[in-house]
Structure formats: C-alpha cells, structure tokens
Amino acid sequence: MAQLFTLHKETDTYVKMQKKTHELDIIVEVSTEYKPELRPNTTIHFLDHMLDTLSWGMCMSIGCTVVCGKWRSTHTIAEDVAITLGAALKKLFYRKLNKEGININGWGLFGLDESLVRAMVSMEGRRNTFISYTDQVKRFEMAEDLQTADLEGFMEGFFQGFPATLHLDFLKSRDAHHAWESAFHALGEALRMAYTTNPWRKACNNPYYAEEGIADASLV
C-alpha cells in the first residue's frame, strides 16, 4: 500500500509533513514557536487568510506550499491541505499527550463584527464534523475566492487527518468573510485549549483506553 504522508521532520515543537499525489504536492510545517517565515501559500487567497487566522487562534505557526498537477481544483486543495495539516498537528498533540498530558478537549467562541461562531473539539480518536447554521445565518455560496462547500470540506478533511470530533456552530452573521474568519479563529482557540498542558490527562492515565490514551484506530 502506498504511503499517504511523508514525515520529513518531527520534534517536540515542530513537524514537517508532505502529501504528494498526481493532483497535488503539499508540504505543511507547524511549529509551537513563533516563526514569521512560516506562512501559507496554497494558491487560494482566502484559504491563505484562513490558515493565518487559524495560526493566530492556535498560537502556532503554520507554513504551507501547494504545487498543482495537471488540473487545479479548489475543493481538492482545501480538503488535502486540511488533511495534511491535521495529520501534522496530530504528531504534536500525541507527542505531548504521551510525554506531559494535554486537555484533549477544547472550545472557542469568536466574534468578528456582526458574526459569532462557536467551535468545540473532542480529541478522542473519532473522526466527525458537524456544522450547523442558525436561522440568523445565511449560508453564502462563496467567501471571496473560495466556495462555502470547499471551506466545509476543509473542516471535514482536517478532522479526518487530526483526528477528532468538531462541532462548528454559526450563531450570527450576514457576511460570509466575517462568518468564516470567526469560524477559523474559534477553531484555533478550541485547539489551543485542547493542547494546553494537563498532567492529569497524560495518555497512560486515561481509564478508558490503553497506554496510547486515545481511541485512534490508525495507531494500529
């Protein structure tokens, strides 16, 4: 079976991961240290902006490069970047979970002008994404140069690669840009909380699972 990811480097504070197919060659770098040279370049302007927003919310630096193959699909770029980023973050989270212990769960609430979005992350090894819109939120077709379906695909891809359960609730908005910027920032805050050191929840202390401390089938 072909290897889906290539892990180029992994430390306690940094991961460099690659996903290469006939369609795309994606390299993602994540660091818990502030590294301004790490910036996203996905070929999609709004996706770059959202990754910067996620980085700011998580307090982690995100670098990303995308080289397209024969044809360019914004949906494939958004989804595969997300899967690769999730897989890279998984390395950092699991490493700290085993060595020090982390919260595992987190939530965030973020508002930008009229928009308000809530995110909840439960890192139990399950791969789920639930996105809801209240009656006060119109589900716009586009956000700048990216379809809403592609942004939803990003969230689904991220939590396939991570893995975790996401509940993302759009509570208020009348502007697609504001809504999704709030969503990515809220997600970043939720992930930052989940990554916070918590010795009580060290993997080996988990009463529900084995020594890996999480029910992730891909650890087999």
Residue-level pLDDT at 209: 74
Each of the 220 residues of the chain gets a pLDDT tens digit; together they read 457 899 999 999 999 999 999 999 999 999 999 999 999 999 999 999 999 999 999 999 999 999 998 889 999 999 999 999 999 999 999 999 999 999 999 999 999 999 999 999 999 888 999 999 999 888 888 999 999 999 999 999 999 999 899 999 999 999 999 999 999 999 999 999 999 999 999 998 888 776 666 777 665 4
Residues spanned by the domain of 139: 6-214
Residue pair 102/196 in contact (Cβ under 8 Å)? The answer is yes
Cα within 13 Å of Cα(59), Cβ side = 8
Structural domain contains residue 206:
yes
Number of structural domains found in the chain: 1
Q: Is 137 a domain residue?
A: yes
Beta-carbon neighbour count of residue 154 at 10 Å?
28
Q: Is residue 67 part of a domain?
A: yes
- pTM (two decimals): 0.94
Domain with 29 in it: what CATH number?
3.30.230.40
Q: How far is CA 88 from CA 11, 57, 82, 163, in A?
A: 11, 17, 10, 11
Question: What CA–CA distance (Å, rounded) separates 44 from 100?
Answer: 37
Q: Is residue 187 part of a domain?
A: yes
The sign of the torsion formed by the CA atoms of 32, 36, 41, 47 equals positive
The DSSP code sequence of 8-24 is EEE-SSEEEEEEE-SSE
How many other C-beta atoms are found inside a 10 Å radius of the C-beta of residue 132? 11
Q: Which pair of tokens denotes residue 171?
A: 């509570």
Q: What is the pLDDT of residue 138?
A: 82
Examine residue 220 and state whether it is found in any structural domain, yes or no: no
In a domain, 1, yes or no: no
Q: Rounded to whole angstroms, how far apart are CA atoms 42 and 37?
A: 15
How does DSSP assign 95-125, residue by residue? HHHHHT-B--EEEEEEEETTEEEEEEEE-SS
Q: Does residue 132 belong to any structural domain of this protein?
A: yes
CA-closest candidate to residue 98, choices 12, 216, 218, 212: 212
Q: Please check whether residue 219 lies inside any domain of the structure.
A: no
